[in-house]
Structure 1
Amino acid sequence: VPFVIRETLTMLTLISFFLTLKLLMLQCNFGIPRCLYSWTDNVYQDGDMVISAFLPFYGYQTSPNSEGSESTHISLWINSNNYQYAIALIFAIEEINRNPLLLPNVSLGYDIYTAGPQDQDSSWNILFWLTGKDKFIPNYTCRREEKSVAAITGPTWDISSLYGTFLGLYRYPLLTFGPFEPNLNDPGKFPSVYQMATKDSSLALGMVSLMVHFRWNWVGLVISEEKDVQFLSEIVREMERNSVCVAFTEMIPDNHFLMKEVDVYDSQIMMNSAKIIIIYGDTDSGLGVFFRRWEHVLPWRIWVTTSQWEVTTSMQHFILDSFHGTLIFSQHHGEISTFKDFVKTVTPSKYPEDIFLARLWEKYFNCALSDTSCKPVENCSSRGSLEWLPWYHFDTAMSDGSYHVYNAVYILAHTLHKMLVQQVDMQAMKIGGRIKYPHWKLNHILKNIQFINPAGDSVTLNPSEKLYVEYDILNFWNFPQGLGYKVKVGTFSPYLPPGQQLSLLEDRIEWSTGDQETPISVCSENCGPGFRKSLQEGKAICCFDCSPCPNNEISNGTDIDQCVKCPDDQYANTERTHCLQKSVTFLSYENPLGMALAGMALCLCMLTILILGIFVKHQNTPVVKANNSTLSYTLLISLTFSFLCSLLFIGQPNTATCILQQITFGIVFTVAVSTVLAKTITVVLAFKITTPGRWMRGLLKSGALKFIIPICTFTQIIFCGIWLGTSPPFVDTDAHSEHGQIILMCNKGSVTAFYCVLGYLGALSMGSFTVAFLARNLPDIFNEAKYLTFSMLVFCSVWVTFLPVYHSTKGKIMVAVEVSSILASSAGLLGCIFIPKCYIILMRPDKNSLKAMRDKASYNLYVASR
């Protein structure tokens, strides 16, 4: 009792507002002219069992207003393409009635009503059907005999949910042929609703795979408001996973009568740079109205949509249509080979009671109808055929919706056949020689029915058996003067491995631009080889700038996120697209810089030897004797070796030359600087010893100062030995200093040891400079203190400058700096100490005599005494 009360209250709530509006129209017979467009129209064909159908024959047509206005006019019309649902229903029923193996001795009939185009019209139809066109009394019907076993409806969510709510009160089986709707799977709200369509679980993946294939990364989305949020989330997730960006998202209200400011939706699509737009939603919703309206107001776009969006137009254009080039994802199904032949036979004379068919003939073939019976006044079947109609009025190829209607009839037939054969229903009653089954008994079998239809496809209502579907990709050709076709250009199969799921015949695709070039839809132009993407702050990842690859990095593709660094033995070409093999190089004698340094070293070496020869030849002259000839010879010999050791830095390095470079440099320069130190101390002692018998005189005469050189040199040898024992120099490569070259050079090994050697040499130099500086004012006729001071100033200046310059250079230049420092410091000692003496020996021999020296000495003593 509570169940009956609850269901009755629900029913009363649904119909209460209709009773107030049309109280005077609730009689079984009323005086409305049958030939007017009416939601009461229906077609009935008797049978032992009847399948009812509620089909959306009437829709809204858009057409431009007069005077060139861009706005459109919306009017009620009969949708000829939707009439194919009825043809598929009749075709399947007649096919089953002729089949002796399916429902033998049982005939099927049909009862067809129109659904929509508004919810109140659909509500009136279901109430008329439930109550037998009499008074709207809940749980009561004035039908003489109840033969209907199930109902079929669709394709929109609005229609399916409305009829599902009504019929669910009676557990009446309702099969919907529209797109899969997750909300209809709720057994609490819709306990007896069954969806023929499979969930579009792979549709989002298929569409995004198409975007990736054509490298479209800037795509717009236009969907119906509220009901298609799940598809929106699925496709956005797939787009993010494949780096395809959403340019804009337009949510179109479902009720087009409530829409305001319609131009807002147009401008978003027109102003955005996205050329590819995915459209998804109900065809009879507000989005459907907009889709037909956009034919007149939108510029060229590539639409990607589903098969439920039959691209139709009522105009014959002399230019390519705005929907030319649309790509349609259609669920793959087998072909019913006899369907097109059946369509050719459908005429008003064959089905005289079909009011919808009569209206099609009236509209397209000028067949006059009677105002009372809505039958043709004359036999005008010979005037036309549905196959004669242009594609935009009627397509003879079976659509997805019609295929689902065809399968729905077969599902019901197999369900009834199973009940008949197995005698499952023990309450089956035979009334007047006819078998009658309570409709609610079909629900149990419908859930588990499975069979192979005449097209060879497996059909089932079990959701677990319908996980994935394959898609045919159709290209819509809409040429001028109504020459339109849908051409299969590819397939998408989720069962294949990734990368092989999408198959396309690109040469068959016609684009909206009318040429064969694939359109481009990107936020930013592709970054070519040699560049990388640099994202624009605050924008989508598809919007970026192209930045050149950094030094020694390449990119050999398009839209590369990060450049790839070349290996150390390779370098990037000028375009930064390929890595080239580096050439091995070093400071060679063939190199102009190496040649210049080697020539300079040899010239200075020859000059040093020449000076040594001059000193040997004039060893008995006062100038040579006054400057300690032994120390002079030692200094000249060490300078000769210092010039020669610079040659070790030039040429291809090896382990031996790397070790000799630093060891020879350190020891030879230590000898030279310690010799200068000995000469300086000798000069100072010579002038400080004025009193006979002082101990410094004995030190000077004993030659003890000559031990300065070996002691200082031995100390340096110890440092070098420690260096060689811990971390000696070795051959190394420098792949970064010079572009395209690998430089062979000597690595110092232990940097600490190197600076110890250099620091010790610097300490000796500073010591020599200090001593020489203190003795600079002694009479210069007897000593060379001023020359020694200046020479050590030059020497120290060179090596102080060497340190920052050495560390700021790399590669061959670093080696050249070290060689130049060796040559400059050695040349400074040679020039400052020996060139003035050579000048006196060679150019002023008059000053190189004892008499000249005495006269000079007397003069200096006189000056000093005053």
Structure 2
Amino acid sequence: MLFSWIFISCFLQIPILLCSYRSSECLVKMNYRLKEKGNVVIIGLFPAFAVYPLNKTTDWSMLKFNKEVMIEFKLRNYQCILAMRFAIEEINSNPYLLPNTSLGFEINNVPHGQRHTLIKLFSSLSGSNYDIPNYISASESNSAAVLTGPSWIISEIIGTLLDLYKFPQLTFGPFDSLLSEQRRFTSLYQVAPKDTSLTHGIVSLILHFHWIWVGLFIIDDDKGAQTLSDLRSEMDKNGVCTAFVEMISVIRGSFLTKSWKNDVQILESSSNVIIIYGDSDSLLSLIVNIKQKLLTWKVWILISQWDVSKFDDYFMIDSLHGALIFSHHREEIPNFTDFMQKSSPSKYPEDTYLHVLWHIFFNCSFVQKDCKIVHNCLPNASLGFLPGNIFDMAMSEESYNVYNAMYAVAHSLHEMILNQVQFQSHENGKKLILFPWQLHPFLRKTQLINQDGTNMVLHHKSKSHVEYDIVNFWNFPKGLGLNVKVGTFSSNAPKGQKLSISSNMIQWATGSTEIPRSVCSESCHPGFRKTHQEGKTACCFDCTPCPENEISNETDMGQCMKCPETHYANPEKIHCLQKTVTFLAYDDTLGKTLCFMSLGFSSLTAAVLGVFLKNRDTPIVKANNSTLSYTLLVTLTLCFLCPLLFIGHPSTATCVLQQNIFGLLFTVALSTVLAKTITVVIAFKITAPGRVRRWLLISRAPNFIIPLCTLLQIFLSGIWLTTSPPFIDKDAHSEHGHIIIICNKGSAIAFHCTLGYLGALALGSYFMAFLSRNLPDTFNEAKFLAFSMLVFCSVWVTFLPVYHSTKGKIMVAMEVFSILASNASLLVIIFAPKCYIILLRPERNSLCYIRDKTHARSKKTFLTPSFCASEIKQHC
């Protein structure tokens, strides 16, 4: 199968090689002037072929056609000649359009060079074969308009001259803003619609296929510069970047381009989509270079002014296969294809071009004298036999414009004749005189309707609706040359419906089976964000994972979205998940443990209180100020229950009570310990009993320390609650995926002042107990008080750094644990020895034991018996 395609491709290329020097000489010598008589003649100037010297220094007047010249056939332009003939024949056969008036035509080839172009025009205007400037023969010339194109250069050269005579000129080439200048070209009309939305259509196509990395080849002239500006503006608005921009220079006034060296960047560029703006004459050298490099993996986006026959080469693979071409939408002209198929040298023997084509492609023999074919022709030969890459039977955009131009002139003539008939009806029998300048008011009408019902706008100050066909160029195997319509772009359609394209119909470049990609950097998947590469365009970027708690749920996101505080990012950083609301609950293992510890220690303290109450008359209970002991035990019982305020769902009430109840109860406990230590110091430091110290001891003045210290703590709490009380807060950051409901301390200064105040009481108690730790007494608890205060201070000194380094539930648990540990130190160290004696060594808790112990100590310390008796009495 592959060899079959290769054979067919090679066969289709054979006719290109058969051009003889004889055919070139015939076209040049015959000068190619095609005429058909009529009441009104339309002059057509077409670049049907061009002759170039092989050596640039050769004198044109001394050329020898078999050795020194090269002829370039422009079959796409010859189709325009056929379209003009077809339109005039159709108009002449219409009895309702131009009755009693026949249209004729005079067609001349526009040779190379400005001088020869003007010579052809003078010859046609003078109505003779002589090129006489400023001479028009009224008897021989009945020209009404001149048709020029497709190059704007030809139209500009001729238009400058015709404007002097106010002679109507219609150009069928692509619309050019230079030719629309009313001050310079008052008699020129452009049939082609203005490309008001071409750049929008191209960018819409690029965005449809997600191509954001595009190269540009633009013709280097005013129109190309304007198109480049419009393209860049439209691309920037839609996030499309240019991989490179190459401006192709063209020699003004010539069909030859400057020497263009293929830029390395077109091969090395990662862009697989390249836009080419310009006509085939101007960019001939560029396309030749592209074809020679066999860049078959690129997607070319072109405009419709292309003559594919120019680009034939001897490669079996075409680099332009799969190109997408923007062409102005046009309706199918009935019978035009049949007309071209029936066009032959036998039907139009005066058309030298047809004789030359039959000689080249169908091996017909020439008569030496007049370059007419006579025999050895392929039977029933037709232009339809030619491969599509040589001659396309489908009507081109320029041919469609020629067809419309003929109808524009015909309608204008029709209305002009009717207008003259109305004013000259009384002069019967007098011949109507038509002057070309009289056509202008009718040509300037807003709309003219051609044969197929299409509205044409020749006055380009009015806005017209432009619609484009998107054509896919199929040229595999080489020579197929099909232009297949795959979509449309309508600037007047609703937003989102302007572009309509059938992707499944598109044949991509050779070797591609799916839609090509054209990006500078591969897309960033969800979970990543784009990071711009310094010094490069916005389309060149790196993909960076989203930061913590941020997501990107779309492709190619420039910034990650931060999840709300109530949500957290999943591991893939694609979705925000709802955080679980949590707190130090009773159901948690940690909450249960602390709860059981709190209740257990509270029950234990209550049991110790019960033991002391039961044994309140024993010496060991009385020896250490039983009232203070009861107060301390009751306070510790409540202190052990205080952690229950920290467990469970926080509320405003619990948040306010937590710290204030904790501070108040601990103040009572520590002030009670301080009172006990002061009592011990006062009792055992009286070596010479005085009235004041004895009064302090007997009146139990140290007990007033408790209300005084408690009132100060109440004052501090009042300030705290007034200025910045605790409140319910949410901690959404401490634990991943959770929102922890906690109590905010409100004023951190007030909280630390409370801790500092408790610390001062603890240090004071420790200092007083430390002073009396070695005083002699049977039940002296100074050592236990000092040690308990030492442990108490150690717990809270350790608590502070740990508390500030933890968050959430652990922080609350640390505070609860510190409360329980500090309370337990007071309970165990102070009351455990007493309970041991009361419960396990009751014999030591008696007056006799105390008397014997005191007597032994009095001898050892040389105290008087009277003091010992008073001490016993005091303690008993």
Provide the residue aligned with 1:246 in structure 2: 242
Of 204, 207, 211, the match for 1:209: 204
Shift in CA distance, 706/101, structure 1 to aligned 2, threshold 3 Å: same
Deviation at 1:75, TM superposition (A): 5.5
The residue number in structure 2 matching 1:294 is: 290
Query: Aligned AA for 2:37?
Result: D
Task: Spell out the pairing of 1:791-802 with structure 2 (5 A cutoff).
Answer: 791-802=788-799
Q: 1:44 aligns with which of 35, 39, 58?
A: 35
Relative to structure 2, which stretch is displaced further, 131-140 or 645-654?
Answer: 131-140
- Using the TM superposition, give the Cα deviation of residue 333 of structure 1 relative to its aligned residue in structure 2, in angstroms: 1.9
How far the C-alpha of 1:90 sits from its partner, in A, is 0.6
Match of 2:578 in 1: 581
CA RMSD of aligned residues (A): 3.4
Pick the aligned partner of 1:235 from 231, 235, 243: 231
TM-score of the aligned structures, taking structure 2 as reference length? 0.85
Letter in 1 for 2:416: M
The one-letter code matched in structure 2 to 1:554 is I
Residue 627 (structure 2) aligned to one of 621, 625, 630: 630
Deviation at 1:558, TM superposition (A): 1.0
Q: After the TM superposition, which of the residue ranges 808-817 and 235-244 deviates more from structure 2? A: 808-817
Partner SS for 1:263 = coil
- Please tell me the residue identity of whatever aligns with 1:259: K
Matched, 1:159 2:159: no
Is the 1:316–1:482 contact (alpha carbons within 8 Å) kept by the matching residues of 2? no
- CA-to-partner distance for each residue in 1:325-376, whole Å, 9 max, x for gaps? 2111111122112211111111111111112222222222122334442222
> Which of 311, 314, 333 does residue 312 from structure 2 map onto?
314
Deviation at 1:482, TM superposition (A): 2.5
Distance 1:123 1:694, change over 3 A: farther
Q: Is the 8 A contact 1:78 1:360 kept in 2?
A: no
> 1:790 Cα shift?
4.0
Q: Which is worse superposed, 773-782 or 294-303?
A: 773-782
1:172 to 167, 176, 185: 167
Measured at CA, do residues 826 and 445 of structure 1 come closer, stay the same or move farther in structure 2, by a change above 3 Å?
Answer: same
Q: Structure 1 residues 857 and 510, CA, compared in 2 at 3 Å: closer, same or farther?
A: farther
Q: 1:438 to 1:381 in 2, by over 3 A?
A: farther
Q: In structure 2, what is the equivalent of residue 528 of structure 1? A: 525
Return the letter of the residue paired with 1:314. D
Partner secondary structure for residue 746 of structure 1: strand
**Tell me, what secondary structure is at the counterpart of 2:165?**
coil
Tell me the distance in 1 between the aligned counterparts of 2:453 and 2:293.
Answer: 43
1:270 to 267, 272, 289: 267
Q: Which amino acid aligns with 2:312?
A: S
Residue matched to 2:55: none
* Pairs within 5 Å for 1:591-670: 591-609=588-606, 611-612=608-609, 624-670=621-667
Partner of 1:200: 195
Measure, in 2, the Cα distance between the counterparts of 1:814 and 1:724.
Answer: 22
Rounded to whole Å, the distance in 2 between the matches of 1:340 and 1:135 is: 37
From the superposition, tell whether residues 467 and 806 of structure 1 become closer, same or farther in structure 2 (CA, over 3 Å).
farther
Assess if the C-alpha contact under 8 Å between 2:125 and 2:141 holds in 1: no
Q: Is the 8 A contact 2:27 2:352 kept in 1?
A: no
Secondary structure (helix, strand or coil) at the match of 2:509 reads coil
Query: Given the alignment, which residue of 378, 387, 391 partners 1:390?
Result: 387
Deviation string for 1:523-554 (max 9, x for gaps)?
11111112222222222111122222233322
Q: CA deviation at 1:582?
A: 2.4
1:190 counterpart residue number: 185
Match of 2:825 among 823, 828, 852: 828
Alignment of 1:430-445 (within 5 A): 436-445=433-442
Amino acid corresponding to residue 421 of structure 1 in structure 2: L
Distance 2:46 2:658 in 1: 99
The reply on whether 1:139 has 2:134 as its aligned counterpart is yes
SS in 2 for 1:110: strand
Distance in 2 separating the partners of 1:372 and 1:489: 49
Q: How do 1:354-753 residues align onto structure 2 when only pairs under 5 Å count?
A: 354-378=351-375, 380=377, 382-423=379-420, 436-448=433-445, 450-514=447-511, 516-609=513-606, 611-612=608-609, 624-721=621-718, 723-724=720-721, 728-749=725-746, 751=748, 753=750
Which residue of the partner structure matches residue 812 of structure 1?
809
- Counterpart CA distance in 1 for 2:257 and 2:469 is 36
Match of 1:224 among 219, 222, 227: 219
Against the structure 1 CA distance between its residues 145 and 132, is the aligned structure 2 distance closer, same or farther, given a 3 Å change threshold?
Answer: closer
SS of the equivalent of 2:96 reads coil
**What is the one-letter code of the residue matched to 1:660?**
L
| 2:328 aligned with 1:331 | yes
Q: How does 1:93-132 map to 2 (within 5 A)?
A: 93-116=88-111, 119=114, 122-126=117-121, 128-129=123-124
Q: 1:818 to 1:47 in 2, by over 3 A?
A: same
Give the C-alpha shift of residue 437 in structure 1.
2.5
Aligned residue type for 1:110: F
Shift of 1:586: 1.4
Q: Does the residue aligned with 2:266 lie in a helix, a strand or coil?
A: helix
* Contact 2:316–2:478 (8 Å) recurs in 1: yes
Structure 1 residues 579-628: Cα deviation after superposition (integer angstroms, max 9, x where no partner): 22222221123323223333433444355445545655666666554433
In structure 2, C-alpha distance between the alignment counterparts of 1:446 and 1:804, rounded to whole Å: 95
Cα 1:164–1:388, aligned 2, differ >3 Å: closer, same or farther?
same
Cα distance change of structure 1 residues 718 and 487 upon mapping to structure 2, 3 Å threshold: same
Q: State the Cα distance separating 1:278 from its structure 2 match.
A: 1.1
Q: For residue 76 of structure 2, give the secondary structure of its aligned residue in structure 1.
A: coil
Q: Give, in whole Å, the separation in 2 of the partners of 1:208 and 1:200.
A: 14
Counterpart contact for 1:33–1:371, Cα < 8 Å: no
Asked whether the equivalents of residues 646 and 816 of structure 2 are also in contact (C-alpha less than 8 Å), the reply is yes
Q: CA deviation at 1:817?
A: 2.1
CA contact (8 A) 1:535 1:544 kept: yes
Equivalent residue, structure 1, for 2:77: 82
Shift of 1:138: 4.0
Q: Structure 1 residues 37 and 637 mapped into 2: Cα distance closer, same or farther (>3 Å)? A: farther
CA–CA separation in structure 1 for the residues paired with 2:137 and 2:289: 44
Percent identity of equivalent pairs: 54
- Alpha carbons of 1:278 and 1:780: their partners in 2 closer, same or farther (altered >3 Å)? farther
Measure how far apart 1:35 and its partner are. 0.5
Who is 2:277 aligned against?
280
Q: Tell me the CA shift for residue 166 of structure 1.
A: 2.8
CA displacement, residues 384-408 of structure 1 (integer Å, 9 cap, x when unaligned): 2111211111111111111111111
Aligned to 1:55: 46
The answer to whether the 8 A contact 1:415-1:449 is kept is: no
SS at match of 1:482: coil
AA matched with 1:246: T
| Residues 705 and 147 of structure 1: CA distance in aligned 2, closer, same or farther (over 3 Å) | same
Secondary structure of the 1:479 match is: coil
Cα separation, 2, equivalents of 1:563 and 1:385:
65
| Structure 2 contact 97–410 (Cα < 8 Å) conserved | yes
- Distance apart, 1:858 and its partner CA: 5.8
Kept in 2, the 8 Å contact 1:316–1:480? The answer is no
Unaligned runs of 5+ in 2: 1-22, 53-68, 864-876
1:15 equivalent in structure 2: none
Task: Please give the secondary structure, in 2, of the residue aligned with 1:397.
Answer: coil
* SS of residue in 1 equivalent to 2:488: strand
Shift of 1:237: 0.5
Shifted more, 394-403 versus 705-714: the winner is: 705-714
1:375/1:714 CA distance change after superposition, 3 Å = same
Secondary structure of residue in 1 paired with 2:470 = strand
Residues 300-309 or 710-719, more deviating: 710-719
